[in-house]
Amino acid sequence: MSRARVARRIAAGAAYGGGGIGLLGVAAVGVLLTEVQMAKRHVGNGGSDEPPPRADGLYGLQYPGHDGPLRLTMLGDSTAAGQGVHRARQTPGALIASGLAAVAERPVDLRNVALPGAQSDDLERQVTRALMDADRVPDVCVIMIGANDVTHRMPPTRSVRHLSAAVRRLRTAGAEVVVGTCPDLGTIEPVQQPLRWLARRASRQLAAAQTIGAVEQGGRTVSLGDLLGPEFEANPRELFGPDNYHPSAEGYATAAMAVLPTVCAALGLWPAEEERPDASRREGFLPVARAAAEAASEAGTEVTAAVPAGPRGPWALLKRRRRRRLPATDPTPSPDTTQDQDQDQAPEQDTSGAAAPDPAANRAT
């Protein structure tokens, strides 16, 4: 069965009920569990239990901000939280916030409610926290989720159901939503065959189904699968953190470069001509399931809703945006003392800054 059909089946199951043990089957899951236990003996010995640095605060204070700061909220698991690095400026939230400030020429107020170890069923709690203050509804939310769903055997229909509900609540509240879909778990260095093949297949199937669920609720998605694929696999010492599981600072920068253009596009900060499909980059309008399947296999590919319905169901626009380079200059974020302190993550605030991208510098995917 093609990945597009599998993704559509998972998304349909999420919408209308159903589930079960998932796509791998009982026998495959047994093998998967055995290999997971073996991998755990090697993964996590580099201090991954250390809480991620807290990067909440204002970025881009050098800009006037006459209209007030843009509000960015990060939701999801340890990847969204930035686990595996030691400085706030190295987390994906800080990188995206400072990049957004540079493009918008406006301060950005970052809040991170992500929780290391979270699965998609924790998104309901995170969304509630993100929307707790009706006067501070985020302008844009970035969700990174899915890896723990695969490793904890959450049925993919249930996973997509929770993600879709989260996107729907955020969009109804008025926030734009960008989802970084499930990374390719087949690239984790200590993982051996057959787990590597099974993990890659399961994570890519989930990523495609997440895309359908998120796009149908008005969100946009960016594939993280291949960002944790060829680049991470080719440079494991550079792009993985000390525990060989969570990304390093360079790894998070790679992911942030891919997500930032979609965040900017969601807020209408990109020129109109860049929003049109570019045939030379193999961009175009596709049935949403086909677009989701293609995106799951290619790093940084964006999918967004286009036409509500067609002969083959809803259609989506698939774009392969240019990544934004992140120079080494570090503006200092100012902690926002008006935000409540998360009981789930309370590491000391790091005010050393975040890497700001150069809006004029592009690097093709």
As annotated, the active-site residues are 78, 243, 246
**Structure tokens of 36?**
């997971």
How many Cα atoms are found within 13 Å in the side-chain-facing hemisphere of 348?
A: 5
Whether 217 and 172 have beta carbons less than 8 Å apart is answered as no
